Amino acid sequence: MILPIYIYGHPVLRKVAQDIDPETYPNLKELIDNMFETMYNADGIGLAGPQVGLEDRIFVVDLSPLEDEEHPEFKDFKKAFINAHIIERGGELDAVEEGCLSIPGIHEKVPREEEIRIQYLDENLQPHDEVFSGFRARVIQHEYDHIDGILFVDKISPLRKRMVKGKLANMEKGKVACEYRIRTVR
């Protein structure tokens, strides 16, 4: 089922999401399936719980559509991250353009660390403690920010922030054009 994607200005996007109890969480498998379906429908490569209105530490990523000769490592990079916690970040800060399904029509360069170490449960509730670098680390950090109530536009330069202020203000008023199913604050 395709879920509505919550748009910039909705307070749920600013909540620090909480760990879930996978044993008692209702229909976790179905939720993860729905999150992937919602993400694919909107041509995204990542989607986090708050973007579908949940205050739960869950996000999904799938980089396989970006696989090519230069990036064979994207091929099987389809993952759910449950109760994720980044425990280390390192390497150089690098600024690369990002977008977000909750902030349609805005793409800006975002500085992020090159490498992360993250602990999480996968969709089968198996625990992982892994290091990711490069673009995979970037996408994970973007989604991870969502479960901490942080959006990529928080991290762009003051000049660029001024440039996108009007568009963001419109989103907060519910004025946004989008081809996928969305929910605005009003």
Active-site residues, by number, are 143
Map the footprint of Ni ion across residues 2-31, applying CB under 5 A.
none
| CA neighbor of 4 nearest in space, from 177, 186, 182 | 182
How many Å apart are CA 171 and CA 30, to the nearest integer?
Answer: 29
C-alpha–C-alpha distance, residues 171 and 176, integer Å = 5
Nearer to Ni ion, 28 or 52 (CB): 52
Q: 19 and 125 in contact (C-beta within 8 Å)?
A: no
Under DSSP, is residue 22 helix (H, G, I), strand (E, B) or coil? coil
Near Ni ion in 80-119, by CB under 5 A: 100
Size of the site for Ni ion (CB under 5 A): 1
Pairing mode, if any, of strands 78-98 and 58-62?
Answer: antiparallel
Q: Give the N- to C-terminal CA distance of the chain in Å, as an integer.
A: 23
As measured in angstroms, the least distance from the Cβ of 103 to Ni ion is 7
Whichever of 54 and 100 has its CB closer to Ni ion, that residue is 100
Minimum distance of Ni ion from residue 69's CB (angstroms): 27
CB of 151 vs Ni ion, minimal distance in Å:
7
Is 35 a residue that touches Ni ion (CB under 5 A)?
no
Residue 6 backbone phi and psi in degrees, to 5? -75, 135
- Give 49 or 74: the residue with its C-beta nearer to Ni ion: 49
CA atoms within 13 A on the CB side of 86: 20
Tell me how far, at minimum, the Cβ of 106 lies from Ni ion, in Å.
11
For the beta carbon of residue 36, count every other beta carbon within 10 angstroms: 18
Whose Cβ is closer to Ni ion: residue 59's or residue 120's? 59
Contact footprint for Ni ion (CB under 5 A):
100
